[in-house]
Amino acid sequence: MDDTIERRSCDLAVYIIETGVTVRAAAKKFGISKSTVHKDLSQRLPQCNKTLYNQVRKVLEVNKAQRHIRGGMATKAKYLKEKEYRKKSGCQ
């Protein structure tokens, strides 16, 4: 495996472990796609650093378990924002 890809995989893992961010946020921070983040963490990282892989997997499992909560909060915020907009513009 290419050394730069190994390094990126490890950097991604460390970033996610330290910050607890989602795959989407990590992809945005590193300027790569979510698919690349998934591939780096699930396929490449176990080959080069099994310990780091086990740590990042725990964080990703927590994020996955909380996904539905974040989605609900985002939907709630969206509709509250729309309600405020309609109230200000006089449309109801």
Q: What is the pLDDT of residues 79-92, one digit of tens each?
A: 888 888 888 877 76
Task: State yes or no: pLDDT of 74 exceeds 90.
Answer: no
Lowest-pLDDT range of 36-40, 49-53, 63-67: 63-67
pTM of the predicted model as reported, rounded to 2 decimal places: 0.73
DSSP 13-77: HHHHHHH---HHHHHHHHTS-HHHHHHIIIIIHHHH-HHHHHHHHHHHHHHHHHHHHHHHHHHHH
pLDDT at 92: 60
Q: In the chain, where are the structural domains located?
A: 3-89
- Asked whether residue 49 carries a pLDDT value surpassing 80, the answer given is yes
How far is Cα 62 from Cα 41, in angstroms, rounded to an integer?
15
